[in-house]
Structure 1
Amino acid sequence: MDATTTAQQPLTRLNIFAGKGVQMRTFHLTWLTFFFCFFGWFGIAPLMPLVREQLHLDKGQVGNIVIASVSATILARLLMGKLCDTIGPRLAYTLLLAVGAIPVMLIGLSNSYQSFLLFRLAIGIIGASFVITQFHTSMMFAPNIVGTANAVAGGWGNLGGGIANMVMPLVAATFVSLGYVDKANSWRLAMVVPGVILLVMAVLYYKYTEDTPRGNYANIQRDTTTQKKGTFLLALRDYRTWLLALAYGACFGIEITIDNVAAVYFVDHFGATLVAAGMLAGIFGFMNIFARGLGGIVADRTGRAYGIKGKWLLLSSFLVLEGIGIAFFSLAPSLLLAIVSMLVFALFLKMANGCTYSIVPFVNKQAIGSVSGVVGAGGNLGAMLVGFLFKSKEISYSTAFLYIGFGVATIGALVLLVRLVVKETGEAPAEAPLALAGA
């Protein structure tokens, strides 16, 4: 095999320090872009105490805002999964970034609960960036390493939510110290920063990435058989797609919920300052720098030793342990114990994220984008549903976390039960090559 042919193939190993070749260039650009999408998506979360005070929001309205922030993402992820299979991840990402930057920059124009809610809903579409990131990474890496590559890219991207919790209060404070705005309105100007960054990333992504190692969709010959069948229908007809969507709702869905409410919880429940609460919430997100990738690494090794069945068992175990950890977090009597228990359940949660998307590419190799989109949408649907717990005036945040813990553990057990009971139906083996979007 000559050098040219090798350059056109998915990579069989992940060297995070490499930057040459379309595969690694795309890998680094896609996780970095996803990082800033997550940063923009949850940039307003640590500033919600300021927004709540200025717009006079009650608990129910804050809960509605939390729900809105993840709701639009559900449909957007389904759409982006299909677009990845048709127009390619490069154009799909560029379009998403350009459109998503608009509400991020303009949310500061909100002067009422209703207008803020609509902007928060619109910002949620950039959460679909995850589907494109996972799809694009799956195109660039071979089956033996794709779980690890997906998990590292997803984890480093998810890190943007944690960094946003840490950095955005400081960005707002910087504008105040420079005299550009008062503290009450600092959140308005601060949100312009991530919006501008998203526009910059749109340009970089369009210019420096390609759809596959062999080139962009427009420039390569592709087999349209799967398009005739309908990749979306292929994904929907497979029960494993729905099982993974349920699992992802129990891990990623909980993650983005905590990204939304953690700062408020630490302020209200433990009396932390805005900056301190943002830092504590940021610790939860910061664990993505290694935990999601660790889940993918363990899943890939488990897959090589025990096959896809081993990955499913691993996913079930992660979810059960995550649920138990969340229950302990809800009952923590002090800030110190809350932080410790948060770190424990965060580890299993993020490893479950990585494990889930180590399975996704093997469900149906002819519809990777659509499967990825449905599973990703399942994560946001989970977040939307648990969001109703946090808007209820009868249920405290700590009680909501307790319910969530029980629910997640139950889903973990259900995942294992279904996989034991339902007969196998043509699942792609771990060594099966992935289709380059039907190439």
Structure 2
Amino acid sequence: MSTQKTNKATKINLFSFAAPHMRTFHLSWISFFLCFFGWFGIAPLMAVVREELNLTQSQIGNTIIASVAITVIARIVIGRFCDKYGPRLTYSTLLILGSIPVISIGLSDSYESFLILRLVIGVIGASFVITQYHTSVMFADNVVGTANATTAGWGNMGGGATQVIMPMIFSGFVFLGLEESSAWRWAMAVPGVAMIVLGILYYKYTTDTPEGNFSDLKADSMAELEGDNEEESEVSMLEVMKDYRVWSLFIIYGASFGIELTINNIAAIYYYDYFSLDLKTAGLIAGLFGLMNIFARSVGGFLGDKCGIKFGLRGRVVFLFIMLFLEGIALMVFSSMSVLPLAIGTMILFSLCVQMAEGATYSVVPFINRKAIGAVSGIVGAGGNAGAVMAGFLFKYESIPYPQALFIIGIVVTIVSFVAFTIRFSTADEKEAEEELEEALAEPELEPVLAD
């Protein structure tokens, strides 16, 4: 979906809710936050669920894989939906329909039903693609990396918040007199209901593009727009599938966001089992990992933009390599810690690196194929879940303790970091990016929109 360049925002004013740019910015990250919260809401309660449903380590591993597996497909498909139907309708629909399995998981009475519902819940992980798509069409080149990273990072923060909040909600229901076997079930209804509310608000208060909603455009303009978009989508999808850089980013995102998803799934039970903590304390510590998203991913996108402004597109790629390499090293160090304070400290360091690597990745994505933002975002985003699926297999087997699995993943991430050097841009690409950056910076008429 192309937009007029002059209508894209060139600044981000976090204290503004002005339409359409900043209102979309805030509602997109809040929606993604709730989707992430619902997606991983059950993770900090797994110690209770494990006892009630008599789950083995292998079965828990299967549920971890299931929670991220279907998202690989969902993210690819959702990008095309954004191109065709617009992010506003796509997001609202996903939020409302996605709330159904989130609430329904409380009805699980066996390993099989629990596994199936964790699988279906994974569809809401596609919300990431809509978030990145919507900010990409709203913000200009000089800030698009920062906008993408901030909305994604604050949304990802839901994975940390759920580690802290869900045990509290669970305890609240226990305090009201419910048995633990019922409390975790009612707790999962909370994020589900919140998703329904956000779905309604998103539909009412956002627009598809800076120019307005698809349905609001004049009939002749819409026909031309859809015709152009359909042609671009067909050509662009073929180009995207052939572009090796997309698959390089697919692998890289698997080694960053894929590992964040894995940690979100196992962190609470990791601290519960290996450091003999109670459920609330383990959840609180695990929550620190995701809560770093409040600034870490934004910093990664911001620095990616700065490197792009100073060194061109190649500068964005080099910064991405650095952060991914540091992530791998930090994860290996964390996996070796057996003293709680050191484990917490190294986990936070690893969290900073992995989230900055994610932000750096999506400071590169918008420049791969400008005619297929949705398709590129979807495929690269799917890479994150593919990485989580692959990592999840390490946690299935009784013979591989969690610390060893994390160390192996750290080695793989360090090796994958060198894949960043396969991402190259032509001289023409660099020149086009430079010209568009200069054009974006030369458009002061947009600034008052974001200064409210």
TM-score by length of 2: 0.91
Alignment deviations for residues 102-159 of structure 1 (CA, whole Å, 9 cap, x no partner): 0000101000000000000000000000000000001110011100011111111111
Calculate the aligned-residue CA RMSD, in Å: 1.7
Distance 2:231 2:100 in 1: 35
How far the C-alpha of 1:59 sits from its partner, in A, is 0.4
Structure 1 residue 432, shift from structure 2 partner: 5.7
Greater Cα offset, 181-190 or 76-85: 181-190
* CA displacement at 1:333 relative to structure 2: 2.1
- Deviation of the 1:433 alpha carbon: 4.8
Q: Conserved in 2, the CA contact under 8 Å of 1:7 and 1:21?
A: no
Pairing of 1:164-179 with structure 2 (within 5 A):
164-179=162-177
**8 Å CA contact 2:313, 2:425 repeated in 1:** no
Equivalent position amino acid for 1:280 in 2: I
Task: Write the distance in 2 (CA, Å) between the matches of 1:246 and 1:217.
Answer: 34
In 2, the alpha carbon distance for the partners of 1:7 and 1:410 equals 38
In structure 1, distance between residues paired with 2:5 and 2:309? 25
Kept after mapping to 2: 8 A contact 1:144/1:430: no
Choose the corresponding residue for 2:227, options 220, 224, 228: 224
| 1:239 Cα offset (Å) | 1.2
The residue identity in structure 2 corresponding to 1:225 is D
Deviation at 1:232, TM superposition (A): 2.4
Work out the percentage of aligned pairs sharing the same amino acid: 51
Contact 2:102 2:192 in 1 (8 A): yes
Deviation of the 1:427 alpha carbon:
3.8
TM-superposed deviation, 1:53: 0.5
Residues 244-300 of structure 1 show CA distances to partners (whole Å, capped at 9, x for unaligned) of: 111110000000110000001001111111001100110000000000000011000
1:81 matched to 2:79? The reply is: yes
The match for 1:198 among 189, 195, 204 is 195
CA distance, structure 2, for counterparts of residue 178 and residue 223 of structure 1: 54
Which residue among 373, 381, 388 is the counterpart of 1:383?
388
| Displacement of 1:426 | 5.8
What is the aligned partner in structure 1 of residue 277 from structure 2? Answer: 272
Among residues 313, 316, 319, which one is paired with 1:314 in the alignment? Answer: 319
2:447 maps to which residue?
A: none
Q: Work out the CA distance in 2 between the residues paired with 1:175 and 1:186.
A: 5
- The superposition leaves residues 39-96 of structure 1 with CA deviations (integer Å, 9 ceiling, x where unpaired) of 1001000000000000000000000000000011111101111111111101111111
Q: Give the C-alpha shift of residue 354 in structure 1.
A: 0.5
Kept after mapping to 1: 8 A contact 2:12/2:147: yes
Q: CA deviation at 1:425?
A: 8.3
| TM-score (norm: length of structure 1) | 0.94
In structure 2, distance between residues paired with 1:122 and 1:377: 16
Candidates 44, 62, 65, aligned match of 2:63: 65
Distance 1:427 1:36, change over 3 A: same
Question: Could you say which residue in structure 2 is the equivalent of 1:353?
Answer: 358
**Which residue number in structure 2 is paired with residue 430 of structure 1?**
433
Q: Report how far residue 413 of structure 1 moved.
A: 1.6
Match of 2:288 among 283, 287, 304: 283
What corresponds to 1:118 in structure 2? 116
Of the three residues 263, 266, 271, the one matched with 1:261 is 266
Pair 8,175 (structure 1): closer, same or farther in 2 beyond 3 Å: farther
Q: Structure 2, unaligned stretches of length 5 or more? A: 438-452
In structure 1, C-alpha distance between the alignment counterparts of 2:301 and 2:433, rounded to whole Å: 14
Task: Provide the rounded CA distance (Å) in 2 between the counterparts of 1:343 and 1:396.
Answer: 21
Q: Which amino acid aligns with 1:237?
A: K
Code of the aligned partner of 1:302: C
Paired residues, what number? 426
Aligned position for 1:437: none
Q: Which structure 1 residue ranges, 5 or more long, are not aligned?
A: 435-439
**One-letter amino acid of the structure 1 residue matched with residue 228 of structure 2:** T
CA contact (8 A) 1:11 1:141 kept: yes
In structure 2, the residue corresponding to 1:392 is in which secondary structure?
coil
- Once the two structures are TM-superposed, the CA of residue 414 in structure 1 deviates from its matched residue by 2.5
Q: 1:211 aligns with which of 208, 212, 222?
A: 208
Name 2:442's counterpart in structure 1. Answer: none
Structure 1 residue matching 2:363: 3-state secondary structure: helix
1:7 deviation in Å?
Answer: 11
- Which of 133, 136, 144 in structure 1 is aligned with 2:134? 136
> Is the 2:84–2:229 contact (alpha carbons within 8 Å) kept by the matching residues of 1?
no
Following TM superposition, by how much is the alpha carbon of 1:223 offset from its aligned partner in structure 2, in angstroms?
6.0
2:5–2:140 Cα contact (<8 Å) kept: no
| Structure 1, 232-241 or 379-388: larger mean CA deviation | 232-241
Q: Does 1:187 align with 2:192?
A: no
Q: What amino acid does structure 2 have at the position aligned with 1:171?
A: I
Question: How much has 1:224 moved relative to structure 2?
Answer: 2.9
Q: Distance in 2 between matches of 1:408 and 1:342?
A: 15
Report the alpha carbon displacement of residue 394 of structure 1 after superposing the two structures with TM: 1.3
